[in-house]
Amino acid sequence: MLLYAAIFLPFAAALIAVLLPSDRLRPWLIPVTALIHFSLVLQLTATPTASAGSLIGLDALGRFILFVVSLLYAACSFYALGYFRCHADWENRIFITALLTFPGAMTIAAAAQHLGLLWVAVEATTLLSAPMIYYNRNRFSIEATWKYLLLCSVGIALAMLGILFVGYAGLHGGGEQELLLDRMLASAPLYSKPWLRAGFVFLLVGFGTKMGLAPLHTWKPDAYGEAPGLVGGLLAGGLTSVAFLAILRSVQIMIAAGEQALVRQMLLALGVLSLVFAAIFVIRQRDIKRMLAYSSVEHMGILVIGVAVGGVATYGAMFHVLNNALTKGVLFMTAGNIHRYYGSKRMCETQGALTVLPYSASLFLAGFLAITGSPPFAPFMSEFTILRGMFAGGHLALSAVFIGLLVVIFIGMGGTVLPVAMGPHMEEAEEATDYRETPLTVASPLLLLAAVLCLGIYLPEPLRLMFTEAAKLVEVAP
């Protein structure tokens, strides 16, 4: 019952938002819904339920991803109050309705034990994201929205083809055409290998497009660059985690069928390619939000490299899912504050932000250090764990490439972030807007950054067990 409550709560809140006439009161539905949803998720993680044979259920992997997206959404919900106060004269019914429905779709994706239902939930997140990306209502946002819809819809169509191929692999292999996850895992050794491999390729390309792996990432710079900071954080930390889950479901099936070698080769190729693309495009990147988009490409690559290496690196990848989500929330919300003050996202027009936005700029700078793997922040620990897995597996050349690309990305991002935060302040920017920092627009990124710092120093035992169980589920066939 708790799981169904967590699914239907956001949809009920969205219905209230549609019917509520007041643009001023409607934003309060966001934190109320988020806190109730997160409390339900905490109860679900504390009391695991069986999912065998049902369309909806939470295994270790689903519980973990649901915890990550619900935590991020709850943290961002209070920032939303401050954001809508800055746009008090804007009509917000469609935006808030989509924003409230968003965690419902992600909850279904996390709990889906049927590949068809998982596909529907991931596609729903695409449709719900579009009006939020378009919220600024200018020619750049409409271009970004159409590009996002077009590319992600093509990707999700390829994923559907992959599901059909995997289903046919079971039928062609002498079994039944079954899309329930537990039954597929049990009968995967009997599947037709050519059809299964073809299906995995389409699933990886399709859901990899949604995740933003290179070279399938081309929608990210535009969508993240034009979306409000609140939405950018949810896309980079929440939506990508759900897409990663969809890829892990296909990885589970392949490993159960004994196809680990193909899985690891393809994931490793896309992961390294993502790091290379991020390293190339982050250098001399002058748009702070587009820079964060390429940072997201980087960290999606890190995640799939961790799964490809296996062993302790898979545990590190699970840890990194949480770290990436929380840190991206910090960066996108503070970048949104900087953008709102200066009326620009370009480095040359936003320099010296520490002078006028001391809290947002300080958090933006600290978030940069965290996301690039600087100690003592938690991303350092998860990236180090992945690197330790590489050394343990004898992947010395991969380790050298991994470290080298991370260093290049650190330097490239620093070339943009440091002038924005600490460069000479432009006096003409004083009259850019009348925006001022408020507790509501600063508290959420501050709490997220504090969590990232604490996780880098001390990892609670319940979280460690959550990462361990999720990693085991990815690597071990039933």
Residue 428's pLDDT is: 53
* Maximum mean pLDDT: which of 148-157, 429-438, 468-477: 148-157
Q: What are phi and psi of 13, to 5 degrees?
A: -65, -40
Q: What pLDDT shows up at residue 412?
A: 93
Residue 478 has pLDDT above 60, yes or no: no
Helix (H, G, I), strand (E, B), or coil: what is residue 334? helix
pLDDT tens sequence across 241-258: 999 999 999 999 999 998
Question: Cα separations (Å) of 47 from 59, 62, 65, 73?
Answer: 11, 13, 16, 21
Average pLDDT of the chain, as a whole number: 90
Q: Indicate if the pLDDT at residue 90 is higher than 70.
A: yes
Q: For 260-263, which contacts have Cβ atoms below 8 Å and span 24 or more sequence positions?
A: 260/310, 262/197, 262/200, 263/200, 263/308
Let me know: does 353 contact 421? Beta carbons within 8 Å. Answer: yes
Reduced to 3 states (helix: H, G, I; strand: E, B; else coil), residue 47 is coil
Query: Which amino acid is located at 301 in the chain?
Result: G
Q: Which domain holds residue 79?
A: 2-475
For the chain, what percent of residues have pLDDT higher than 90?
A: 68
pLDDT tens digit sequence for 8-56: 999 999 999 999 988 888 999 999 999 999 999 999 988 766 566 678 8
The single-letter DSSP state of residue 53 is T
Lowest mean pLDDT across 225-229, 232-236, 260-264: 225-229
Structure tokens at 101: 């429905």
Tell me the pLDDT band of 359, cut-offs 50, 70 and 90: very high
Other CB atoms within a 10 A radius of the CB of residue 2 amount to 15
Q: Which residues contact 296 (CB under 8 A, 6 or more apart)?
A: 212, 220, 224, 236, 240, 324, 328
Q: Is the pLDDT of residue 306 over 80?
A: yes
Tokens of 380: 């350092």
Residue 159 CA: distances (Å) to CA of 55, 70, 210, 264 = 19, 25, 10, 19
Question: Cα 375 from chain centroid?
Answer: 22
Q: What's the structural domain count of the chain? A: 1
pTM: 0.95
* Residue 263 confidence class, pLDDT cut points 50, 70, 90: very high
In our burial notation (b when 16+ CB lie closer than 10 A, e otherwise), range 63-75 reads bbbbbbbbbbbbb
Which is more confidently placed, 151 or 139? Answer: 151
Give pLDDT tens digits for 383-406: 999 999 999 999 999 999 999 999
In angstroms, rounded to a whole number, what is the distance separating the alpha carbons of residues 187 and 345? 52
User: What's residue 173's pLDDT?
Assistant: 60
* Residue 430 pLDDT exceeds 60: no
For residue 354, how many other CB atoms are within 10 A of its CB? 18
**How much is the pLDDT for 174?**
57
478: three-class secondary structure by DSSP: coil
Euclidean distance between CA atoms 130 and 101, whole angstroms: 13
* Res. 297: pLDDT tops 80: yes
Specify the pLDDT at position 321.
Answer: 97
pLDDT tier at 421, thresholds 50, 70, 90: confident
Q: What is the pLDDT of residue 343?
A: 81
What pLDDT, on the 0 to 100 scale, is given for residue 138?
81
pLDDT score for 2: 87
Bridge partners (DSSP) of residue 114 are 180
Measuring CA to CA, how many Å separate 354 from each of 114, 393, 429, 437? 49, 44, 13, 12
CA-to-CA separations, 336 to 31, 292, 329, 341, in angstroms, rounded: 19, 12, 11, 9
What span, in angstroms and rounded, lies between the C-alpha atoms of 318 and 467? 6
Write the single-letter amino acid at 452. V
DSSP string, 416-469: HHHHHHHS---GGGGGS------HHHHHHHHHHHHHHHHHHH---HHHHHHHHH
pLDDT tens, position by position, 60-71: 999 999 999 999
